C-alpha cells in the first residue's frame, strides 16, 4: 500500500482534506448561484406582491374618495329633497287653510241665506196668519152686527134720503 493511502500517515489526511475542500469549492460555487437565483426570484415575487398591494391600496383609496363624494352628494340630495318636502308641506298647508276658509265662508253665506229665507218665510206666514185672523175677526164682527140689527142704519138713512132726492 502506498504511503499516502495509509491512514496512519498525515499525508493521507491532508489529501482527504484537500479533496473535501475542492468538493466544497466546486459545489459551493454552484450553490450560491442557485441560492442567489432563488432569493432573486423570491424578491421579485415579493416586489410584485408589494406593487400589486400598492396598486390595490391606491385603487381602494380612489374608491373610498369616490364613495365619500357620492355619500356627500347623496346627503345633499336628501337634504334638498327634505327641504322641498317641507316647502311642499307648507304650501299644501296654506292651500288647505285657504280652501277651508273659503269653504267656511261659503257655508256661512249659505247658512245666512237659509236663515234669511226662513225668516222671510216665517214673516210671510205670520203676516198671512195675521191677515187670516183679521179676516176672520172682521167676518165675525160683521156677522155679529148684522145679526144684532135687522137693518143697517146707513141703508135706512139712505133710503130715507132717496125719497127726498127723487122728488
Which cell numbers hold the place of 6? 495509509
| 163 in any annotated domain | no
| 47 in any annotated domain | yes
Spatial contact of 12 and 5, defined as CB atoms under 8 Å apart: yes
- Structural domain that includes position 39: 10-152
| 164 in any annotated domain | no
Stated pTM of the model: 0.41
**Residue carrying the nine cell digits 125719497:** 163
**166 pLDDT above the threshold of 70:** no
What per-residue confidence (pLDDT) applies to 148? 65
**121 pLDDT above the threshold of 70:** yes
**Percent helix, percent strand, percent coil in the chain, to nearest 5:** 95, 0, 5
**160 pLDDT above the threshold of 90:** no
- In angstroms, the CA 152 to CA 87 distance is 90
| 165 in any annotated domain | no
- In angstroms, the CA 65 to CA 3 distance is 84
What per-residue confidence (pLDDT) applies to 40? 92
- In angstroms, the CA 146 to CA 151 distance is 7
- In angstroms, the CA 75 to CA 68 distance is 10
Largest CA distance in the chain: 221
Averaged pLDDT for residues 76-100: 95
- Beta strand extents in 10-157 (DSSP E only): none
| 1 in any annotated domain | no
Residues in the chain: 167
- In angstroms, the CA 154 to CA 60 distance is 129
| 51 in any annotated domain | yes
Which cell numbers hold the place of 53? 398591494
The predicted-structure confidence for 11-35, as pLDDT tens digits, reads as follows 888 889 999 988 888 777 777 778 7
Total of domains in the chain: 1
**Residue carrying the nine cell digits 347623496:** 74
- In angstroms, the CA 12 to CA 144 distance is 187
| 28 in any annotated domain | yes
Amino acid at each position: 500500500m502506498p504511503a499516502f493511502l495509509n491512514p496512519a500517515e498525515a499525508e493521507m489526511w491532508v489529501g482527504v482534506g484537500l479533496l473535501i475542500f475542492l468538493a466544497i469549492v466546486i459545489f459551493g460555487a454552484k450553490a450560491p448561484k442557485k441560492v442567489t437565483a432563488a432569493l432573486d426570484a423570491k424578491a421579485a415575487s415579493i416586489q410584485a406582491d408589494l406593487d400589486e398591494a400598492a396598486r390595490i391600496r391606491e385603487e381602494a383609496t380612489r374608491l373610498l374618495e369616490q364613495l365619500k363624494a357620492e355619500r356627500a352628494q347623496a346627503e345633499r340630495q336628501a337634504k334638498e329633497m327634505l327641504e322641498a318636502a317641507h316647502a311642499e308641506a307648507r304650501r299644501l298647508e296654506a292651500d288647505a287653510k285657504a280652501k277651508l276658509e273659503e269653504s267656511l265662508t261659503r257655508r256661512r253665506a249659505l247658512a245666512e241665506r237659509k236663515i234669511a229665507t226662513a225668516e222671510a218665510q216665517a214673516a210671510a206666514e205670520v203676516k198671512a196668519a195675521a191677515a187670516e185672523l183679521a179676516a176672520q175677526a172682521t167676518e165675525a164682527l160683521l156677522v155679529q152686527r148684522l145679526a144684532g140689527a135687522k137693518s143697517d142704519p146707513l141703508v135706512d138713512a139712505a133710503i130715507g134720503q132717496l125719497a127726498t132726492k127723487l122728488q
